[in-house]
């Protein structure tokens, strides 16, 4: 990558870049309204930046001592360079510092690469949500994963 990856909370000016990354990565991307809602109370968004370039982002919410990963995405041109893993580790470290007891997430059953990433970082499979994600006229189940801190 050359330049060191930096993490910071993206601002309003970064919303177009977030939407561009989201829309290029997912068949059913979040809307601008969903991202704006996640800029409110109880939510945090973190961006991974190489210089001024937003390369990826992560959105989570917190309730008491639990944090839930809602969305994590890396710009396709930066894929397979470890940015997703670094974003995930940044989030886990922040949650440890904030005294969270547990982290949770859902991942598409078909997304084996993401499941492998989460497993390698200590998450375990704890359940399933049938028909959770939209998928070309049908639904796809989500694997629920958890990490106790």
Between CA 6 and CA 50 the distance in angstroms is 6
Out of 57, 78, 118, 133, which one is annotated catalytic? Answer: 118
Is the pLDDT confidence value at 1 over 60? Answer: no
Q: Please confirm, yes or no, whether 41 is among the known catalytic residues.
A: no
Q: Please confirm, yes or no, whether 12 is among the known catalytic residues.
A: no
State residue 93's pLDDT score. 97
Query: Which domains occur in the chain, in start order?
Result: 5-148 (3.40.630.30)
Confidence of residue 2 (pLDDT cuts 50, 70, 90): low
CA angle 23–109–29, rounded 5-degree value: 15
DSSP state of 106: E
Tens-place pLDDT, residues 39-53: 878 899 999 999 989
DSSP state of 67: E
Cβ neighbours of 65 (radius 10 Å): 12
Average pLDDT along the chain = 92
12, with CB counted inside 10 A (0-12, 13-18, 19+), is exposed
Average of per-residue pLDDT across 52-58: 94
Out of 106, 121, 128, 132, which one is annotated catalytic? Answer: 106
């Amino acid at each position: 990558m050359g330049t060191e990856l930096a993490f910071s909370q993206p601002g309003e000016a970064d919303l177009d870049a977030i939407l561009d990354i989201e829309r290029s990565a997912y068949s059913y991307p979040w809307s601008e309204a969903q991202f704006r809602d996640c800029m409110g109370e109880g939510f945090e968004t973190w961006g991974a930046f190489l210089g001024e370039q937003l390369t990826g982002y992560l959105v989570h919410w917190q309730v008491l001592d639990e944090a839930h990963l809602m969305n994590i995405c890396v710009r396709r041109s930066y894929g397979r360079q470890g940015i997703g893993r670094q974003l995930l580790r940044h989030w886990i470290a922040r949650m440890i510092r904030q005294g969270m007891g547990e982290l949770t997430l859902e991942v598409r059953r078909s997304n084996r690469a993401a499941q492998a990433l989460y497993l390698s970082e200590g998450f375990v499979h704890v359940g399933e949500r049938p028909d959770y994600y939209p998928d070309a006229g049908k639904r796809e189940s989500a694997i629920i994963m958890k990490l106790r801190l």
